[in-house]
Structure formats: C-alpha cells, structure tokens
Structure 1
Amino acid sequence: MTKLILSTSNIMSGGSSAVRHDMTSRSNAELTSSLRMNFKAAQEDAAYAHMQTQPQTNGHSDDVSHTPSFRDWTSHHAAKAVLYVPTLDFTASALQEEREQYDITLKLFYLPGIPVARRASQTREALDFVLQELHVPSIDLLIVSFPGIYFDEESEGCPDKIQSRGPIEADPEPLETQIKTWQELEKLKDEGLVGRLGVSEFGAERLQPFLERTRIKPSVDQINLRDCCSVPRPLLTLAKKEKIDLLVHNDSTNILPRGTLRELLGPGENGAGVLANDGDMAGDKRKKNREDGEAVDSEGMKGDVEPQWVIKYTAVVKNRGVVENKGYFAAAELKA
C-alpha cells in the first residue's frame, strides 16, 4: 500500500488564475482545478529541466517533445511508502509577515467510508503539513466537517434544500462517534497547536447535545445557506446563548470523491498520469508506444485509490483583510 499526499501550493500566488477568477466557487471545484494547475506547473518545470540537459543546436534544445514521467515531478519516500504529488518544497512557502499579523483558519474534511479510528493520526498529519507549509507553530481556528452531516436535515427553514443538494454521499454519523473525534481535537487545543475549534453543518438539534458532552465547546458553527433565506431561530438562539459564531460557507461535504481523484491522477487529457488505467490499459499503451517507436513513458501506478482526508487552509492578514495564502492538502491510499 502506498500513501499519496496531494498539494495545491498557494492558490493565491500569481500562477493560479484558473481559481482566482471565481472566489465564490464551491470548494470541490476549487480543489480539483487548483490541484490540476499545480500538477501542470510541476510537469512543465520537469519538462524544462529535461530540456536544459539536452544538447543545444543554435541555442535550442534538440528535444522539444519530451513528456515527463510522473516520477520526474513527484517524489517517493520509500521508508514511509509515501508519494508526494507533486514534490513538496517548504523552503519558499513561508508567510511574508510575522505570525501575529495573521488569522489562520483550517477546515478538515473527514471523508465517507474511512474508519473513525484513523482520525486522531490523520488530524495530526493534516495539521502538520499546514504548519510546515506556512512555517508557523500553531493556527487560530480548526473547523471539522463530518461526513453525512447536512445543516438542512435539522432545519425546517430550508424545506427545499434536500432536493437541491443532490444525492447523499453518506449516512450521518452518530453523536457518540463525533464526541470521540472531538476529544482528540481538544488535545490539540490543550497542546497550544490550535486556538479555537469549530464544527460544520450543525443545526440546533445536533449542536445542543454535542455541547452538553464536550469539555471544550466549539466557538464556530459553519452552515450552508445557499438555498435558504435566513438562519432558523432555534439555532440563532442557541448560538447566542453559547457564544458560538455562525459562519456561512459554500463547501462540499464530500469534497474529493473517489472517481474525481482517479480522474485527476489517471492517464488521459485531464489526468496527471500517476495512475494506470483500470484493467492495466496503460500496459497496452506502453506496448503500442514501443511498436510505434515513440519515446513516451505512459506507465502509471496500478491499484485502487481511496481518498482519506482533505484540509483547506487560509491565512488572512488581519489589518488588511487580505487572503495572502490559501491552499489544500489531500491524502489517499493506493492499494494494489
């Protein structure tokens, strides 16, 4: 089994025009497009590096048609059985000003079908990647998204939203499971790694018993009001009483479905070529390439890929309200 770590780098930097033109896009679309852009940039860098090593004729490389293998722009940590897609480089990713000048918010998406027992290690792993990326010792707010939780399921104020959101990706988790996960998050606050904790898509009927059984209360509840005109009064009353900030978001609960991930990493026009086609079609393509005399490396990794978690991070300059750094990390497992 190989773990895959996917990263977007800073999507607010100059090379991310594909996502900057629409800052209101849903997170799943933003994640997909920014990952694809970062993969493409890494491939172009690898192709350029290859060109620089080739013989020059009149100042130009003789090889201008080289298509890099995924091995040229990813890195493999054999001891940990981890493939970084693309290669991670934290040397130039630090924030421009001092840490106290920023509000840093993370949102961690626990994905459907992943055992709850993995969440403690996955949470720390995801947090650690962001701390390294931003070169900071802690973050201000960590919001968690549980699979199958939709704000409208408990709100009579949004009668039409169930039909509008599309198929349900997962059944809602029992409260007991969420409490156990939350206890692991409380440890992060105790250690000073996280300033505040928050939840996503909790209506009043879910939030009330949750508050009664947690040692550290969530200070934020993110809700999706895309198809609603106002926050239901029971939730407003509870949030005011418990001093919980209600924030509006436009995130997708199942932010990285398995099919989307395979398309991103697979062969073809929209894929990165990291994975082979289902049914080892890549092997047939390699054979055809050899027969045609083409020097194209179409080999991809074989196996079933399963998304594990996604984390979104945002660093806002406090005194200007400007988003300086924003991006995503995602983890997946490839099982042969």
Structure 2
Amino acid sequence: MPAQQVPHTMGLPDFKQMVLYTGNVMRTRLINRTKAHQKMSNTELIDAIDDTIKTSLQGQDAPSFRYFSDESLLEVPDLRHNSIISIDDRDEVEVTAKLFSTNGTLYPTDVDNSILLLQRLLGVSSIDSFVLSSSSPITANKTWKSLENYYTQGVINKLGVSDLSEQELISVLDNPEFEVKPSMNQVNYSCCDIPASMIKLAKQYGVDLVYTLDSKDILTKQELTQILQTTGVINTKKSMSPRWVLKYDVFVKNRSVVADKGYIITGDIEISPSS
C-alpha cells in the first residue's frame, strides 16, 4: 500500500523495522569534521545517523519520514539533497557500494534489498563496484550466488570482498561452486605491511588489493539503540538491532572526486523481555 505521511504532532507510528538514508554526507556539516577523527572508526556513520534523525524527524520543516503499515516499516530519508544521477551524467560517474553485515550473516534477501534501495536512491540501473563485507563473508553460498546473478545480468560490473585473510581468500577463489570470483580484496594493512604471501596470492589470481579505512565493526546494536533512544525515536524499553549497512560513493571520473557519499541502514526493533 502507499506510504503514509505522518505529521510531527502525531508522533512516530509504532514501527518494527526501519530504513534510514543519511543523505550526502559530503554536503552536510559532517564534512567539516577532521578526517583523522574518522580514520579506522565508524564515527562518520554514527554522526550521519544522528544528523539525519535530528534533521528529518526533529526539524521545523514538513516531516520527511514515511510509514508502510503492511510491513510496520518506518522509512527515514534525508530530503535535503537529491542524489538522483541524471541519465546524461551516468557515464561520467562511478558508483561503488559496500554491504556490511552487522550480525555476522548476510542473506540473499539482504543483497536484493540493498541493491534495490540504492538503485532507487541514485536512479541507476547498474553499480560499477560492489564489495561484500562480513565476518563470515561467503560461508552461505547462496549469498554469493545472488551477487553472481546480478553480475551476469549486468547490474554489478565488479565484485569484491573485504578483510579476508589469505586462507579465507583462497577458500573463496578455489570454491568450485562460485563461477564469478572476487576481483578485489579490501585490506586494512598499510601499503608497507601487506604480507608478501598475500601480494603473491593476489597476483596469482588477479585480485586487486585495495586499501580501506572502513571499520570492520561498522555499527553495533548498542550504538544504534543509544542514538535512537537519545533522540526519542524509540523508548528505553526497546532496542534496535541493525540488519545491514550499505555504504555508497559516487565518483566523478574525470576529476577523481567524490560527488556523493552516504549510507543506508536497516534495523529491527527488539523489545525487552521485562517490558
């Protein structure tokens, strides 16, 4: 059914699921914060969630949240910036995405939903690069097979993984069930600390080693719950467990600059047994 706009005076509906879009963090007050403060941490994401809630749910303008009663889903978009990429500009930019597991497991439906939401947000049909980040990255073969389907359909042009050890990377590359192998592995080593054996392995299989500053623990239940309770989105009898986080970047190719960068966060309400 169509989304229902809920006025601020009525308060938030009793929702069980949430999808929150941080909007373009390159155009908010967050960009003024020191990059050093954000290195190897999830500070940028935490600040972006807090900023979006205060702007979208507590601002003075018209409400910018939607409620889908059939799914008991609250959607909190950031309407300050339009992230739609025009058809004329699509060839001039590169869209990259990274899907983080926040509970150790990613399912094919998580892949489906993350890609669909990003396509709608940016107005694109394809994603140039898609990285999977999970503490058990591809133990569930169906999840990677789902990504393979998007690759063969042309929705994703390049597949990658993140923070895999040598043994984990070998197990993926040598898995006979995987027809499409990852062409990159994001690593947290500095350029001088990457083990020689990892470099040799990557060259052998044609895998690019790409340095990343992303935190492995992108968002915890405690962190998300604290933000939502502090801002009054949920009461102290409830908590919210993040399901997954998708980070996306839109690069301008000829200038090598980031035009758009943001996050999509999904979570599920949990009620304390004592409540």
What is the Cα deviation at residue 73 of structure 1? 4.5
Which residue, 173, 184, 208 being the options, matches 2:170?
Answer: 208
Give deviations 1:234-281, integer Å, cap 9, x for gaps.
111111122111101111222110110011111xxxx22110013xxx
Going from structure 1 to structure 2, the CA distance change for 1:89 and 1:319 (only over 3 Å counts) comes to: same
- For the residue of structure 1 that corresponds to 2:74, the secondary structure is strand
Counterpart position of 1:145: 133
One of 16, 29, 39 as aligned partner of 2:43: 29
**Does the CA contact (< 8 Å) of 2:111 and 2:143 recur in 1?**
no
Match of 2:219 in 1: 256
Partner of 2:6: none
Residue identity matched to 2:263: Y
Deviations 1:28-73 (A, max 9, x none): 111011111122222454x245xxxxxxxxxxxxxxxxxxxxxx44
Provide, for residues 172-193 of structure 1, a one-character-per-residue CA deviation record: whole Å limited to 9, x for no partner: x386x25442112111111211
Indicate the residue corresponding to 2:262 in structure 1.
327
Out of 316-325 and 188-197, give the one that drifted further.
188-197
Secondary structure of 2:213's counterpart equals: coil
Q: Is the 8 A contact 1:308 1:332 kept in 2?
A: yes
1:181 aligns with 2:193: no
1:248 to 1:82, Cα distance in 2 relative to 1, 3 A: same
Query: Unpaired runs of 5+ in structure 1?
Result: 50-71, 148-172, 279-302
* Alignment-mate amino acid for residue 74 of structure 2: L
Q: Deviations over 1:106-151 (max 9, x none)?
A: 000012255x5xx11111101111111111111001001112xxxx
Deviation of 1:220 after TM superposition, in Å, equals: 0.8
Quick one: distance in 1 between partners of 2:255 and 2:169? Answer: 33
Amino acid at match of 2:111: T
Q: Secondary structure at the match of 2:216?
A: coil
Instruction: Kindly provide the amino acid, as one letter, of the partner of residue 69 in structure 2.
Output: A
Q: Quote how far apart the aligned CAs of 1:304 are.
A: 3.5
Q: Does structure 2 retain, via aligned residues, the 8 Å contact 1:11–1:20?
A: no
2:235 matched residue in structure 1: 276
The within-5 A match list for 1:175-254 is 177-213=139-175, 214-225=178-189, 229-254=192-217
1:1-336 equivalent positions in 2, closer than 5 A: 2-13=16-27, 16-23=28-35, 25=38, 26=40, 28-43=42-57, 45=59, 47-49=60-62, 72-84=63-75, 86-87=76-77, 92-95=82-85, 98-114=89-105, 116=106, 119-147=107-135, 173=136, 177-213=139-175, 214-225=178-189, 229-266=192-229, 271-278=230-237, 303-336=238-271
For 2:189 and 2:64, the matched residues in 1 are separated by 40
* Residue identity in the other structure for 2:33: H
CA deviation digits over 1:190-232, x for unaligned, max 9? 1211101000011222212210112111111000025x84211
What is the rounded CA distance, in whole Å, between the counterparts of 1:113 and 1:146 in structure 2?
Answer: 6
Letter in 2 for 1:240: K
Stretch deviating more after TM superposition (178-187 or 119-128)? 178-187
Residue 91 of structure 1 and its aligned partner are, at CA, apart by 9.0
For residues 20 and 48 of structure 1, the distance between their equivalents in structure 2, rounded to whole angstroms, comes to 24
- TM-score scaled to structure 2, two decimals? 0.84
Q: SS in structure 1 opposite 2:266? A: strand
The letter of the residue matching 2:44 is: E
Runs of 4+ with >6 A deviation: none
Instruction: Decide whether the 8 Å contact of 1:307 with 1:332 is kept in 2.
Output: yes
* Deviation of 1:75 (Å): 2.0
SS at 1:139 equivalent:
coil
Structure 1 counterpart of 2:128, one-letter code = D
| Cα distance in structure 1, aligned partners of 2:180 and 2:235 | 46
Q: 1:243 to 1:208 in 2, by over 3 A?
A: same
- Return the offset for 1:94: 1.2
Q: Which amino acid aligns with 1:239?
A: A
Contact 1:76 1:83 in 2 (8 A): yes
Q: CA deviation at 1:330?
A: 0.7
How many residues align? The count is 252
TM-score for the superposition, normalised by structure 1: 0.69
Please tell me whether Structure 1 or Structure 2 has the larger radius of gyration of its CA atoms: 1
